[in-house]
Amino acid sequence: MLTQRSRYALRAMLYLAEAPAGGPPIPMNRIAEAANVPRKFLELILADLREAGLLHSHRGKMGGYVLSRPNHLISLGEIIRVIEGPLALVPCVSRTAYRRCADCKSEAACAIRQAMARVRDETARILDGTSLADAIAEDLVAA
């Protein structure tokens, strides 16, 4: 299940993705209000996203946050990995944080591993194939 922290991150990033490209930075208070995210949590989430290179922050009276790349070049998968870590449900199928399961007799014959690898692949395909721009467009179509 997606954590509340990831949902907050996605809502904040989707809000920023709706802003006109090249527009002024959006203050954290406005993001928090529009995305319905508690400011205290948002501050930490935005810091993680900034450190991962998905956002730029600007200080000062006219400061705030902007996406570091166009919204069609940032995937939901990237955002979730920054907040949650690997998408894999078990460590033995993770591409970025592989760890052999302590109680596994044979990875090659493990039915759980094989199924979880398919889940990881499909989850990654969908999330990495869905950009912020795609998500906004889908939102508009559903409205």
Q: What is the mean pLDDT of residues 59-80?
A: 94
Please report which helix (H) or strand (E) contains residue 7, including its range.
helix 4-18
Hey, how many other C-beta atoms are within 10 angstroms of the C-beta on 94? 17
| Model confidence band, residue 109 (pLDDT cutoffs 50, 70, 90) | confident
Q: Whole-model pTM?
A: 0.87
In this predicted structure, what is the pLDDT of residue 143? Answer: 45
